[in-house]
Amino acid sequence: MHVLIVDDERAIREILADFCRRAGYSVDQASTCAEAAAKLVRGDVDVALCDIKLPDGDGIELVRSICESRIETNFIMVTAFASMETAVEALRAGASDYILKPINFEELQHRLNKVVALRGLREENRALKQAAGNHAPSFQFASPSMRAVERLAFKVAPTASTVLITGESGTGKGVLARTIHEGSSRAENVFLPVNCGAIPDNLLESEFFGHTKGAFTGADKARKGLFLQADQGTLFLDEVGELPLAMQTKLLHAIEEKAIRPVGSEQPRRVDCRIIAATNRDLREMVREGRFREDLFFRLGMFHIHIPPLRERAGDIRALIAFLLERVAEQNRLEMAFRLDREVEQLLLAYSWPGNVRQLENVINRACILAEDSCITVGDLPPEIARSGRHLGGDGTGVAQSTCLRERLREFEAEIIHRTLAESGGDRRLAAQQLGIGLSSLYRKLEEFENMGIRPGEAERGPLHKLTEL
């Protein structure tokens, strides 16, 4: 494995280089961002031990630029500043891990071993895809907001961070959770999904943590709970907002202590499972109302990914339809995929999809079953979609145009907020007052814009800037 050490202090570089050579790695060194970038772009560096504070720039920005260039280098950030905010920022930028100064070399070796294991998994995945011949249909998102979601998932997958996925029902939160698991070092171990809202309150503790024989009436044998079943793997807590407060307290303790105590047992059990949670509820609002623990919200939301509803990313609908039609053909071993009648295509593109991707998938599967001669017509669609045609204009537009308008309004909103922030010198409380919104609302909107790939500073180049010039 080829290691690049990036630090402006020569003594630290030499100590780290000596350690890495004795561990059997080839080593290179750089003292500045510019020098490191010149060596990283060659694409032969497997892992970079990179200081965050460098003479000519920020190590986090170096990580971000290399990751955006699709160069497969794992970054382990080295910092003397034990700040969770800095660590999260580094992970969001694309770093695999971070370590604090003074460096514990046993801990460093452990992190390097994780990189070696991750490289092995990536190579194995490539080999499997090659062996499969890549016959399965593939899908690429067209909307900027979903490409931003993909980038976030790709960056957080190799880390140990908990992840909170939010979005309306049917947007694909479970699919995204499994994707993150499959991109992690736990991919060979279990991915265990659980619907928190489907478990009766009186059985929650036993389901999550297990119980001993005789712990309660009907417990005729010991049972492993979900945490132990997912040990060394990933536990996906779907609809986590449905958990009652008492269970939220116990869940927080289990996540923080990495230990559980089965019902009826006095002995705690160590457990190591990654937690990915999802909800269609507004957890911030639930925190304000006292229905969700604030500390659990921040613990689960260490890395937050929001999936926008399908109606806000109309550009993905056409690509999703093509993907689903191709998948039906693949599953049924058909020589060619079903095709859409022109009127059907207009209806599907213009519909608002309250059930999101799940509803679209169900509609396509149903239509393929009913279709004659491989052509899907209006009669193959559910009545509510077939009837929606009366809302379309003569050119087949209508709802689709309003969806497009909604996207543009979101862009304008982002630019207004970012410009107000700039004018207030970055003071978010003052900016919120000037905008006439609550501070929590401002934080939520900024997080949504970041997930959509809209960053501060882009306002001067956006449509609002052009509009003010007219």
Q: How far apart are CA 104 and CA 100, in angstroms?
A: 8
In a domain, 263, yes or no: yes
Q: How many residues does the structure list for the chain?
A: 470
Q: Model confidence over 197-230: pLDDT tens digits? A: 888 888 899 999 998 888 887 777 888 889 999 9
Q: Model confidence over 276-317: pLDDT tens digits? A: 999 999 999 999 999 999 999 999 998 999 999 998 888 889
Q: Domain tally for the chain?
A: 4
- Measure the CA dihedral 231/86/290/309, to 10°: -80
Residue that wins the pLDDT comparison between 124 and 140: 140
List the single range of 34-48, 64-78, 82-96, 361-375 with lowest mean pLDDT: 82-96
Q: Model confidence over 331-361: pLDDT tens digits? A: 877 767 788 988 898 899 889 899 999 999 9
Residue 326: the pLDDT is 87
Smallest Cα–Cα separation from 458: which of 427, 423, 416?
416
Contact between 304 and 295 (Cβ < 8 Å) = no
Residue 451: the pLDDT is 56
Range of the domain at 409: 400-469
Smallest Cα–Cα separation from 260: which of 205, 329, 197?
205
Residue 267: the pLDDT is 83
Q: How far apart are CA 399 and CA 390, in angstroms?
A: 11
In a domain, 136, yes or no: no
Backbone angles phi, psi at 275, to 5 degrees: -105, 125
Examine the domain organization and report whether 297 and 335 are in the same domain: no
Smallest Cα–Cα separation from 78: which of 11, 7, 127?
7
In a domain, 302, yes or no: yes
Q: What is the mean pLDDT of residues 82-101?
A: 76
Q: How far apart are CA 185 and CA 150, in angstroms?
A: 18
Domain holding 322: CATH number? 1.10.8.60
Q: How far apart are CA 196 and CA 239, in angstroms?
A: 6
Residue 138: the pLDDT is 55
Examine the domain organization and report whether 447 and 350 are in the same domain: no
Residue 407: pLDDT band (50, 70, 90) is low
Contact between 324 and 137 (Cβ < 8 Å) = no
pLDDT over 70 at 40, yes or no: yes
Q: Model confidence over 244-261: pLDDT tens digits? A: 999 999 999 999 999 999
Residue 122: the pLDDT is 60
In a domain, 63, yes or no: yes
pLDDT over 70 at 391, yes or no: no
Residue that wins the pLDDT comparison between 34 and 138: 34
pTM exceeding the 0.85 threshold for the entire prediction: no
Residue ending a domain, among 250, 279, 306, is 306
Residue 394: the pLDDT is 45
pLDDT over 80 at 98, yes or no: yes
Q: Which own/partner pairs from 333-337 qualify as long-range (CB within 8 Å, at least 24 positions apart)?
A: 334/374, 336/374, 337/374
In a domain, 139, yes or no: no
Examine the domain organization and report whether 302 and 170 are in the same domain: yes
In a domain, 24, yes or no: yes
Residue 304: the pLDDT is 94
In a domain, 134, yes or no: no
Examine the domain organization and report whether 323 and 237 are in the same domain: no
pLDDT over 50 at 403, yes or no: no
In a domain, 138, yes or no: no
Smallest Cα–Cα separation from 305: which of 277, 347, 284?
277
